[in-house]
Structure 1
Amino acid sequence: MQAAVDAYDEAAARVLGVNRTDLRCLELLMRHGALTPGRIGPELGLTTGSVTAMLDRLERLGYATRSPDPGDRRKVLVTMTDTAREKAWRLYGPFATEGDALMREYSDADLEVLAGFLRRSRELYERQLERTLKEHAEK
């Protein structure tokens, strides 16, 4: 499944004309709405300069905008454009439709088991990532 998800995301990035990190940024913006570059960087493991370059690319493509934060004019908020949302929906919307139908095939109890398995699997990967990063940072 992981290979299939990865292959689809690679194809989606090609269709959108972005790299995989840019695609992950668009996913963050879709999920969270407006974010500061300072929040995007750590989420994606990017330096300040890399975030700036990425946001420049996304703005040139018409996928993101930067504007002053109305609550704190010293901050900048990054938002996904309607163009990017429409293109993303064309790529990922069918997953929502088919996924909804797929989910209806399972009982609530089945879904609780599946959700528990997926959560625990994610936690396993997060622990192993932390271990691996720690072990290799020490060398």
Structure 2
Amino acid sequence: MSSEQVSPPQESKETELRRQLGEQIRALQSATEAVDAATADRLGINRTDLHCLDVLTQRESATPSQLGTALGLTTGSVTAMLDRLARLGYLTREPDPNDRRKSVVRATAAIRRGADDLYGPLAEEGAALLERYSLPELELLLDFARRSREIQERQVRRLRDAE
């Protein structure tokens, strides 16, 4: 019997890169959450409120029920959140011109400017980073980002449906 020890098989380069990519995605998610937490702190709001403002700054307007669906909140929670954000001057509520029984919620110009101030430097650095990629690489990154988002959305539905 030989006294030589058999070393474990080396991971393939592809396996190692997949592992590292998974680690980096997890670290990116943590870093993104930290930026959002710091932003919410600067605005004097909680993370759900920040998510609401993010939804509103991506749209022209939304109804409270649309916000509830987007944020996974009950009607009562949406009402309390909108009251807080309106008191802070971050959004407005007005009657829906098509159905006076409903209201329309909009982010104020002040919060849109504030979002630009807080997230603008991040957007600029991100845009500069994307400049280094070729068209095929950008298409690949876009495909990866889209598919990753779709996975996350499916998992949210799975977790909420299990409740």
So what's the TM-score if we normalise by structure 1?
A: 0.91
Among 39, 48, 56, the residue aligned to 1:21:
48
Aligned ranges 1:111-130 → 2 under 5 Å: 111-130=138-157
Kindly name which structure, 1 or 2, has the bigger radius of gyration based on alpha carbons.
Answer: 2
Gaps of 5+ in 1: none
Equivalenced residue count is 136
Match of 1:12 in 2: 39
Q: Does 1:95 align with 2:136?
A: no
- Which amino acid in structure 1 is aligned with residue 78 of structure 2? V
CA distance in 1, matches of 2:141, 2:70: 26
CA distance in structure 2 between the aligned counterparts of 1:117 and 1:126, rounded to whole angstroms: 14
Per mean C-alpha deviation after superposition, the further-off stretch among 23-32 and 85-94 is 85-94
Q: Deviations over 1:70-100 (max 9, x none)?
A: 2222221001111111111110111222222
Does residue 1:107 correspond to 2:134, yes or no? yes
Structure of higher RCO (CA pairs closer than 8 Å, 6+ residues apart):
1
Identity of aligned residues (%): 55
How far residue 121 of structure 1 moved from its aligned partner, in angstroms, is 1.7
Q: How does 1:30-41 map to 2 (within 5 A)?
A: 30-41=57-68
Inter-partner Cα distance in structure 1 for 2:80 and 2:115: 21
* 2:119 partner letter: Y
Unaligned runs of 5+ in 2: 1-27
1:54 equivalenced with 2:85 (yes/no)? no
When normalised by structure 2's length, the TM-score is: 0.78
* CA drift at 1:20: 0.4
